[in-house]
């Protein structure tokens, strides 16, 4: 029972970190559809409780709010927590397998590019930032 309380705190902390970084949390398939079908660009951070999410992906995600070129929206889904929303978001990521943590850049409801877990785990946050900056430069106006 105490482990469950510990994990609830870990999950809430990871959620709060993304909210404080300016990301909107999508927790239902309907919220995913509504957001992804909006015109423009959307960065989707697929959050998780693993170490590379906390030490690399979330810091990189927060930093991206400071980049001059940015998408219209910053959103997050939480793998392993909001399963239906995450699974539904992944349906939009055509050509990419499930990966968390990860980043998907959408434009007008279509996947443009993705930074997958293998490009995050074992890398420095600045390397992930550079990949996201290149994606923003190529796909965001």
Rg value, the chain, Cα: 14
Check residue 64 and report its DSSP letter.
G
- Break the chain into its structural domains and give their ranges: 21-140
| pLDDT at residue 5, as a whole number | 67
Query: Which residues have a catalytic role annotated?
Result: 50, 52
| pLDDT at residue 93, as a whole number | 98
Tell me the pLDDT tens digit for each residue of 63-118: 999 999 999 999 999 998 899 999 999 999 999 999 999 999 999 999 999 999 99
| C-alpha–C-alpha distance, residues 1 and 97, integer Å | 33
Tell me the pLDDT tens digit for each residue of 31-45: 999 999 999 999 999
| Average pLDDT rounded to a whole number, residues 2-10 | 73
| C-alpha–C-alpha distance, residues 121 and 126, integer Å | 12
Residue 43: which of 74, 67, 13, 2 has the closest Cα?
74
| pLDDT at residue 92, as a whole number | 97
Q: Which residues 6+ apart lie within 8 Å of 26 measured at CB? A: 32, 35, 75, 76, 77, 82, 85, 89
| pLDDT at residue 3, as a whole number | 64
Is this prediction's pTM over 0.75?
yes
| C-alpha–C-alpha distance, residues 79 and 49, integer Å | 9
Name residue, tokens 């990189």: 60
Q: Are 99 and 116 in contact (CB under 8 A)?
A: yes
CATH superfamily membership of 21-140:
Glutaredoxin (3.40.30.10)
């Amino acid at each position: 029972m105490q482990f469950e309380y510990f994990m609830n705190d870990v999950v809430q902390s990871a959620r709060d970190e993304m909210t404080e970084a300016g990301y909107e949390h999508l927790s239902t398939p309907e919220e995913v559809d509504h957001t992804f079908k909006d015109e423009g660009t959307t960065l989707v951070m697929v959050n998780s409780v693993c170490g590379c999410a906390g030490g690399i992906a979330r810091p990189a995600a927060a930093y991206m709010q400071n980049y001059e070129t940015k998408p219209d929206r910053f959103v997050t889904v939480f793998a392993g927590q909001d399963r239906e929303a995450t699974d539904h978001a992944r349906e939009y990521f055509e050509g990419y397998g499930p990966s968390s943590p990860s980043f998907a850049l959408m434009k007008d409801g279509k996947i443009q590019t993705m930074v997958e877990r293998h490009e995050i785990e074992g890398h420095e946050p600045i390397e992930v930032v550079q990949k996201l900056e290149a994606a923003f430069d190529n796909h965001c106006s």
